[in-house]
Amino acid sequence: MQPIRLTSRAPGRPSAPAAPPRAGALAVADAPRLRRYRDYLDFYEGRHFPAARRGRTTLVVNYARAIVDKGVSFLIGRGIGFAVEGRGGEGAEALLYAVYDDNDLDAVDLACALNAAVLGDGVYKVFWDAAAARLRVVSVDPLGFFARWAPDDLATLQQVDLTYSIGADDAAARYGVSPPATPLGWSAPAGGPSVTVLETWTPATFRLEVGGVEVQAGPNPYGLIPFVHVPNLPGPNEFWGRSDLVDVIPLNRELDERMSDQADVIRYHADPPVVFRGVESHDSLTVGPGTVWDLPRDADVKLLEWTGQPVAVQEHVNLVLRALYETAETPRTAFGDSGRLLSGVALETELRPLIQRTLRKRIVWSAALRRRARLIWRIAEQVGLLAPGSTAGLRPRVIWPSMMPADDAQEVQNQVALVAAGLRSHRTAMDLLGTETPEVELERVRADRAALERP
């Protein structure tokens, strides 16, 4: 079968620009979601104060980033494995691992998981790169992802619009589109002029616009929408996911303000304001150890130091921190500060809230990764990497490693006991322990045994 190619219209024959650009209309229609994404991203990056506090300290204690990063590490930090159930699935499983290695999907998964945790949504795109003659899997920026789904099935996409920017020179080289006289959908940032690209996918059609100019429209070359949406712990009956920062932001902002207040109090005591009476002028008077002032006889100097009962700021900060740990389901122990030495079982017990949160996420991610595997197979069959229909009846399975390192030895013992009792095959046990190609590994084991038995 000939490889599928997404072609562009010949240079010099673009259709009239759309007015107004559909990309802009999509952004306006979905403005609340996009604004929410930007607010979450700003907070994750440490921009916690919307405005200066009029000379007050603006100390940022970025628990938000730490909580998100720890959650992502628990989810995919130890890698993801795959197994294929069904007769003749060895080739399909080998293809999944080949695509995984060829696309550095460990890094792609990290980017997608970070998007999902911070913004609330992650998106994969699977496609055939005709120029490089290989299957590609990339993480898509959710800020440019606009979807419509079946009203009775949130997992079924009916249409996807994807927007992104490319350089004007690149647009001219790829699609033969030059900036129009009226800059519709074009911009000129500091890095040079760029153009907005809009891809519109339905199961039957594909349409491509570059700077408001339609350069391709026709049947969908894959016969399916090549995107996988990963919602982060979605709410009831919701398509879009929820950010891990939803409940963290108000508590983290309160912590920032109270810590900033403490910093102001410390600064007040270290360098208190000075009140002069009977002094008409002074020049560069300093406050600190060893300072000597020569003042007139009738002059009076007073330091505005704190008097009265100290404010219970630290108690309030401790309560905010406790609420932050409990709301984010990220115990203090996850930050490496349990206050005592813990055994493996005790450590797992203290981390149970984070483990339970990760297990809930794994349910959503397992479904998304299975859909991604089926997309890879479908496109691979269309471009000739797999025989047509060879993956029918095969079931991809995601293998998640244990979250606690102490579990590894116990898991090996459990698998050995099940194999010895004849209740599980060697291949299944190796799959569950994360072996990428159990058949190849078993052949190596047989070869080793044969070599040792030779005289």
Residues 60-117: tens digit of each pLDDT? 999 999 999 999 999 998 888 888 888 888 889 999 999 999 999 999 999 999 999 9
Q: Is residue 411 part of a domain?
A: yes
Strands 194-201 and 205-210, sheet pairing: antiparallel
Q: Answer with the residue of higher pLDDT: 4 or 194.
A: 194
Q: Is residue 410 part of a domain?
A: yes
Mean pLDDT, residues 262-273:
74
Q: Is residue 398 part of a domain?
A: no
Q: Is residue 427 part of a domain?
A: yes
Residue 394's pLDDT is: 93
Residue whose C-alpha is closest to residue 438's, from 112, 94, 158, 116? 94
Residue whose C-alpha is closest to residue 91's, from 302, 303, 386? 386
Residue 367's pLDDT is: 95
Residue 453's pLDDT is: 74
Q: CA angle at residue 102 from 100 to 103, to 5 degrees? A: 70
Find the range with the poorest average confidence among 107-116, 321-330, 446-455: 446-455
Residue 281's pLDDT is: 65
Mean pLDDT, residues 397-402:
87
Predicted confidence (pLDDT) per residue in 239-249, tens digit: 999 999 999 99
> Residue 433 belongs to what domain range?
406-453
Identity of the amino acid at 232: N
Strands (E), 382-422: 395-399
Gyration radius of the chain over CA positions: 30
Which residues 6+ apart lie within 8 Å of 58 measured at CB? Answer: 48, 49, 52, 256, 260
Q: Is residue 137 part of a domain?
A: no
Q: Is residue 437 part of a domain?
A: yes
Q: Is residue 158 part of a domain?
A: no
Confidence band of 163 (pLDDT split at 50, 70, 90): very high
Predicted confidence (pLDDT) per residue in 5-25, tens digit: 444 344 444 444 433 478 889
Residue whose C-alpha is closest to residue 7's, from 250, 187, 216, 222? 216
Domain count, the chain: 1
Average predicted confidence (pLDDT) for the chain:
82
pTM to 2 decimals? Answer: 0.79
Encoded tokens for 416: 């050995």
Q: Is residue 263 part of a domain?
A: no
What DSSP designation does 273 have? -
Whether cis (ω within 30° of 0) applies to the bond prior to 20 is yes
